[in-house]
Chains A and B, each alone.
Chain A
Amino acid sequence: MSLLPLIALFATSVHAADELPPQAVAAWQAMSTVRSLEARFEQSRTTTLLSQPLVSTGTLRFVRPDKLAWVVDQPGRSTMVVAGSKVGMSYPDLGVYEQMDLAGDPDAERLVRSMMVWLAGDLEQVSRDYGVAWAAAPTGAPAGVLHLATLTPKDATMAALVSSLDLSLGGDPMRVLAVTMHEPDGDRVDITMHDVRLDPELPDDAFSIAGP
């Protein structure tokens, strides 16, 4: 049950909100107006373990304030659902299903909360834990990307897991279009989102942790 490091993957935030340029603050504020979100994603993991990058696709769903479902379709099915303090993970192809309650475990609970802050646009929360470098989109950036925010964890535990996170922002309203995660061992994960729907009505069972 390695949920703790898994949760840490999603834990990103921004640094020193009062130092950010106005457009960055505006971008975060725009994101904070989103009540729910659904998007397709493609993730490419580049690791020294594998000869070729490992590509996976799936769907991401989020409902403010504390529901998240990360559903992978390819190359195999897997799901992670967070609903409040409850977390469920399933790997149907492996016959593995795990669920747990984070209540009474402040560290784990904090990590789960932080994994949703960039989706929720909670600038205050993010600024507590991460330093932020804000820049305009570099030349050659994918179409639609206007800004690049680089988050660097301040917490040593997080830093051991993630060196930095590059968030590519764009669109109207402003939102995260892609994420690149750099790991201390040199591995990298690129996540791009498309077919993004903002504020859709998402059924409760999309966040069920009841398992199979």
Chain B
Amino acid sequence: MTPKLRLLLTAGLLLVLGLVASRIRFTDDLASLLPADGPLPRALEHLERFQVADTIMVEVDGSDATRADLLSAVDVLGERLQADPAIRRVRWRVRAADGMALQQAATPYALELVPVDALAERVSAEGIRTALRGQLLRLAGPGGGLFEGRFRQDPLDLGGLALRQLRGVESPFAIQIEASHFLDSSGLRAVLLVEPVVSTMEMGPDAPLIEQLEAHLASCALPARYLGGHRIAAESARSVRDDVQRAAVLGFVAMLGLFLLGFRSLRPVLGATAPLAVAVVATLAAGAIIGPLHGISLGFAAALLGLAVDYWIHLYVAAQAQDPSPGFAPRLAAAKAALGEIGPALFMGAASTAGAFVVLLFSRYPVVQGLGAMGLAATLGALAGTWLLGPLAFAALGGRRLPALRVAGLPRWARLLLVLIVAAGALTVGGSRFDGDPRNLLPPSADTQALERELTERYGGFGTGGMVVIEGADLDEVLDAADAAQGALDALTGVTTAGPSVLLPGPTARAARRAALPGAERLQQEIEAAGAELGFAPGALAGAAERLLEPPAWPLSPLTWSDTPLAELVGRHVQPMDGGWSVMISVITADDSLIELVEAALQAAAPGAELVVPSSFARDGIQEIVRELGRLGSLAVGWVLLLLGVRYRRLRMVAAAVVPCFTALLMAVAAFAVLGVAWNAVSAASMVLILGLGLDYGVFMAEGERRGASAHTGYAVLLSALTTLAGFGILVVARSPALFGVGLAVLVGMSTAALIALALVPGIARGEPILPARLQRWVGRLAWLALLGLSVDVLLGQLFYLSPPPGPTPEHHLEQVSAAEHRFGPHRLLRSQGVHTAYLEGDPWQRGYGAGVLTATMDERLEQELLETFERAVPSAFARFAIVRGAIMGLPGLDEWLLPEQRREIAGYVAGTGEHRDWLAPGYTRKVYYHAVHDIGQALVDSPMVHACTGFMAGPGYTADGHWLLARNFDFDGGRRFDQDKLITFVVPSQGIPFVSVSFASFSGVLSGMNAEGLALALQAGASTPPTAAGMPMGFIAREILQHASSLDEAEAILRDRQAFVAENILVVDGEAGDAALFEVTPERVERLPVQGAMGVSNHFRAEVFADLPINVERMAEGTTVPRLARMEELLAQHRGALDTPRAAEILMDRAGLGGAELPRGHRHAIDADIVTHSVVFDATARSFWVSRSPNTAGGYVAYDLDDALAGGIQPVDVMASGDLDATLGVHRGRKLLRRVEGVDPHEAEALARQALALMPGHPEALQALAQALMDQGRADEARPLAQWALDTPPEHGHQIRELRALLGLEVAE
């Protein structure tokens, strides 16, 4: 290629790219940092709609001024701000006109705005007298005659009551109105609430608003400060801009210095501008195509300077190594020769780096996608620039010969040290943590954070824990739901809310208020009687009641407040949206742990409500980053290995090429762990960059060794690494965590990559040992051993993993019918009244696939929770691995025990959910064995992962209407999600009887259910030893009964025909025939016990044949099964003849001991010990049923009609009231605290136990933990009374009795 052609091609390329680049646009919109879909943008949508972060608080400090001076200063400032066109509204004082407008708006709706209690009090005989007396006082007061008109309209001053309500909602902050101004509690500081025209999301680094606002504040006669989302957004944007500028300048200076030092001439710097120019224009063109660009993407663009010159350095060094004669032509020839020599390495390096950037394009984070696009363009631009202009630049500018670098001569001890450092780094990676909260990418300054803390302490309000959003087509329905939600949240200790319920109560609340009033006639009598008593003229109060009760001309709506100062506040809580309304309640919590309580309360009170909390931002973000890392990393590694394998076809060379980048990744992770820096979405993406660039070094060094030029290549790699560090690593000076993370990762990663490339790669490529021979042999053996272990595991996996039956992919699409309902073909998932219900039909594969698609998210959550519970029970990862493998190998071929239709249903489910967690075992295998968790857990009843169920069957003689009932609590400590995500599945199979099953997502078996023939069934664990041979999991046996049996005899036949592998109590009621039986089942036999009227069941056997069964005897002696059953039978006797569904539910919610003795909340001797995963009452005669709502039974119950549901009406037909949420959730939190007691310092254990005891007063487990902690501190005198108290309570389990007796120094019976 001639020089002219090179120049021509370059000019053409620059022209095209330049034209594209000229259309580049920039943005400071924070939204561009968030993924395009999922919960984060939805949360952002809510934040924008309700302008949550769009009020600025200005505080004027009058601590050193008189009150008059303070008020004067704030008035002047307020008026100045109000006059600024950038400010929409300023509130700082109460004006007479505001009060008048408010009164006019509120008075017609007084009856609907005043809460029932206050209203009832006001219309009582005494309340009426008090109100009229007050009106007399007003009439006698200054200008009292002018109250006459108001008095005649509203003699009981209900308008005054309403206004008092409204006053409480005027501001979200703890501000008092004094001297008609907003002041803090000390009265020394005044507050202005400023609402700018622009929203927080529109703020950039140079937004004029901030400058104008600061100018106004500076002109204030007294010191003034401000805080709000606008300030934080502007600071964040400024921080990014400053970081980018600083990094660009420092990077440029550092690179200039490096060139001067490395080449001892400025000529290479000038030469670098040629490829650099192409790279920069290409990068900007990419930015224009994907645009608009955010500051973080721009930061990378600036840092890409380092990448663009790498290739030029390699060319320059290689060309100089040709030792060309002076003159343009010889140097051009040398450069061309060098290009031919390093060409393969250049292309390999560019291909791998570009591949890594391409991978970023698949990120869900737009900002990461931007990085990918620009990185790809920069790499290709640098390659094109180097290829086209590099030789010309060298020919024109080439300088002195460069020194060679001896790179393979590290002494053995140094190499050993290097390996040890890397090994040490590998040990620290476990300490890595992720911060997925997007807000932390660009946090506010320390000053702003300090101010936020100070103002939050003084005024509250800023510490909003989250927002509850309720959406719907009908305003009245939405407002009703908001009332329910806000009422439930306000009832929680430590939680305060601000919502629409005061200004816009829903129709239900409004109707309830009107209903609280007496009739017009009675009210009139009361008013006239009180009026006569107080001296009112006869007839003066005629018609008062009628006027008072008259409904307003227009219903209460957001328009009611449109001309009042509350209009803005209404807009903060109620907004129209496409096809309906959206209501927001802001929630302020004392601490983040209460969010769980808020979630539970919401689930019970307003199931359709959506809770948006910062902690969920973090949680969702972390999950996203972990997925992002795994996805992008594996793609990049795959790409790299493919490229290298194709190129080298030798393991040694591939290893030499990849060692630098893999080591670099490892050390970057280690550095973050050691320094305690959390990974975030952006720094995590830089791992892909390290992979690509680190690979460059390995490839160049391996290629250099291959062609015998490692010395010169080493020099080029060193300079390249230094320039990359100057470009990217310099970001370590950035203040924003997003860019700092990238800088740190690149600094550590690329330093490591360069060091390893220079020190180890040539030796590896030559096949030389890295370590001392003996050590290397051992390392090799260990590596082989690990490889062998892995291979054995893979082999065993092939032998023991189960093969799913195949099935077709349905052609349906998942569609969201409404906020609460999804459909996939005929299959549906509905969330209504806090409970998920599914409707499935068709053949097994179709049902499974549909369920998988619809419940994939729930399935993932449940599996995560199950694995976390498993991790708590078995902290050692290796032990868990061994248990999982042991279970699979110990009970091989478990799916062979399943019916073909059951296998197909599970396989369909796995296909529908998509695969995840393959590392544990493939999806089908995992799901089949998860179904046996119930069976394996039988041996563990009354231990942490247990089923400790209590239930009963009752029929004529016991029930009021002669119906047959089956009621049970399914207790399972496997995780709260099994309760929160319980699933009621209505199944209409292509073969068999339609039925309902109450369990959780992904469970194809049956734990509690009822079929269309009126056969109801429940499983309750029996006493088992751990199973030694596989059989059919009980859930599937129960499923078969429900789907194929219509009588007790048919159920028994199935039980006798199937081989169980654990013991089980199976409660079966036949509503059609009017009969019931308890089947006590072991792997060896089945005993049928008829039900005479009623029978309680817990977790032991009572058939005579099992009387001496040791495990059964032990269960009865050690566990909680006996006291639970005794209490159940006592209650059955008490309710004999009066039982119905509500009373059955009452029994299931019983928390007392035998004889009604009070038990501490959460005591496991109680029928309801706050561990119920689902509580259900089946009326097998009526084929209706009730199911509990989370948490446990405290959320109340929802009712269903089976026949309606199987016909498609899967929404609940009734809802029963909630229970005591606070107490139930207190028990949960107490148990969580007690789980942390194990293994901690006795003082910390004491603190935890005391907190738990406060939440679970008198609970023996908490008492025992506290006693033990005190004893461990040598405080026996304090410990003993507590231990005795626990012993007297009594303890829940036999082993606790022994432990407590030992603690007290008493004799311990075996």
Interface status of A169 (Cβ within 8 A of chain B): no
Q: Are B143 and A10 in contact (CB under 8 A)?
A: yes
Give chain B's interface residue range (CB within 8 Å of chain A).
Answer: 35 or more
Given the known interface contacts A1-B96, A49-B536, the answer about A76 and B145 at a Cβ–Cβ threshold of 8 Å is no
- Which of B147-155, B353-361, B1038-1046 lines the interface with chain A? B147-155
- Which of B176-184, B384-392, B744-752, B1084-1092 lines the interface with chain A? B176-184
Find chain A residues with CB under 8 A from B538 CB. Answer: 51
One of A3, A47, A52, A80 near B139 (C-beta < 8 A): A47
Q: Are B95 and A78 in contact (CB under 8 A)?
A: no
User: Which B127-177 residues have a C-beta within 8 angstroms of A?
Assistant: 134, 136-152, 160, 163, 177
Interface status of B94 (Cβ within 8 A of chain A): yes
- Which of B98-106, B591-599, B669-677, B847-855 lines the interface with chain A? B98-106
Q: Are B178 and A210 in contact (CB under 8 A)?
A: yes
Find chain B residues with CB under 8 A from A108 CB. Answer: 96-97
Find chain B residues with CB under 8 A from A9 CB. Answer: 142-143, 145-146
Give chain A's interface residue range (CB within 8 Å of chain B).
Answer: 35 or more
A72 to B99, CA, bound (A): 24
**Which residue of chain B lies nearest to A99 when distances are taken between CB atoms in the complex?**
B180
One of A2, A102, A183 near B147 (C-beta < 8 A): A2
Interface status of B535 (Cβ within 8 A of chain A): yes
Q: Are A78 and B148 in contact (CB under 8 A)?
A: no
Interface status of B1118 (Cβ within 8 A of chain A): no
- Which of A21-29, A84-92, A116-124, A146-154 lines the interface with chain B? A84-92
A103 to B95, CA, bound (A): 7
A8 to B146, CA, bound (A): 9
Q: Are A48 and B540 in contact (CB under 8 A)?
A: yes
Q: Are B536 and A51 in contact (CB under 8 A)?
A: yes
Interface status of A75 (Cβ within 8 A of chain B): yes
Find chain B residues with CB under 8 A from A78 CB. Answer: 137-138, 140-142
Cβ distance B953 to chain A, nearest Cβ, rounded Å:
60
Find chain A residues with CB under 8 A from B178 CB. Answer: 99, 210-211
Find chain A residues with CB under 8 A from B134 CB. Answer: 91, 93-94
A103 to B72, CA, bound (A): 12
- Please, what's the 1-or-0 string for A44-57, where 1 marks a CB less than 8 Å from any CB in chain B? 01011111101110
Interface status of A70 (Cβ within 8 A of chain B): yes
Find chain A residues with CB under 8 A from B1165 CB. Answer: none
Interface status of B1229 (Cβ within 8 A of chain A): no
**Which residue of chain A lies nearest to B141 when distances are taken between CB atoms in the complex?**
A78
Q: Are A6 and B143 in contact (CB under 8 A)?
A: yes
Q: Are A75 and B96 in contact (CB under 8 A)?
A: no
Interface status of A176 (Cβ within 8 A of chain B): no
A108 to B94, CA, bound (A): 13
Interface status of A137 (Cβ within 8 A of chain B): no
Q: Are B139 and A210 in contact (CB under 8 A)?
A: no
- Please, what's the 1-or-0 string for B230-271, where 1 marks a CB less than 8 Å from any CB in chain A? 000000000000000000000000000000000000000000
Q: Are A54 and B139 in contact (CB under 8 A)?
A: yes
Find chain A residues with CB under 8 A from B102 CB. Answer: 1
Find chain B residues with CB under 8 A from A181 CB. Answer: 145
**Which residue of chain B lies nearest to A92 when distances are taken between CB atoms in the complex?**
B137
A4 to B540, CA, bound (A): 24
A3 to B95, CA, bound (A): 11
Interface status of A199 (Cβ within 8 A of chain B): no
Q: Are A210 and B179 in contact (CB under 8 A)?
A: yes
Q: Are A50 and B96 in contact (CB under 8 A)?
A: no
A56 to B137, CA, bound (A): 9
A45 to B140, CA, bound (A): 8
Interface status of B553 (Cβ within 8 A of chain A): no
Most A-side CB within 10 Å, residue of B103, B144, B163, B178: B144
Cβ distance A82 to chain B, nearest Cβ, rounded Å:
10
A193 to B140, CA, bound (A): 16
Find chain A residues with CB under 8 A from B142 CB. Answer: 6, 9, 70, 72, 78-80, 89
Find chain B residues with CB under 8 A from A89 CB. Answer: 142
Cβ distance B424 to chain A, nearest Cβ, rounded Å:
69
Cβ distance A156 to chain B, nearest Cβ, rounded Å:
16
Q: Are B139 and A105 in contact (CB under 8 A)?
A: no
Find chain B residues with CB under 8 A from A1 CB. Answer: 96, 99-100, 102-103, 163
Cβ distance A85 to chain B, nearest Cβ, rounded Å:
9
Q: Are A86 and B180 in contact (CB under 8 A)?
A: yes
Interface status of B341 (Cβ within 8 A of chain A): no
Closest 10 CB pairs of A and B: A78-B141, A1-B99, A9-B143, A6-B143, A5-B146, A101-B180, A76-B137, A80-B142, A56-B140, A70-B142
Apart from A9-B146, A76-B136, A187-B145: 4 A-B pairs, beta carbons within 8 A: A45-B144, A52-B535, A56-B144, A211-B178
**A and B contact pairs by CB, cutoff 8 A, 8 listed:** A1-B99, A1-B102, A1-B103, A80-B141, A86-B180, A102-B95, A103-B75, A185-B148
Q: Residues of B at under 8 Å CB distance from A? A: 75, 93-100, 102-103, 134, 136-152, 160, 163, 177-181, 535-538, 540
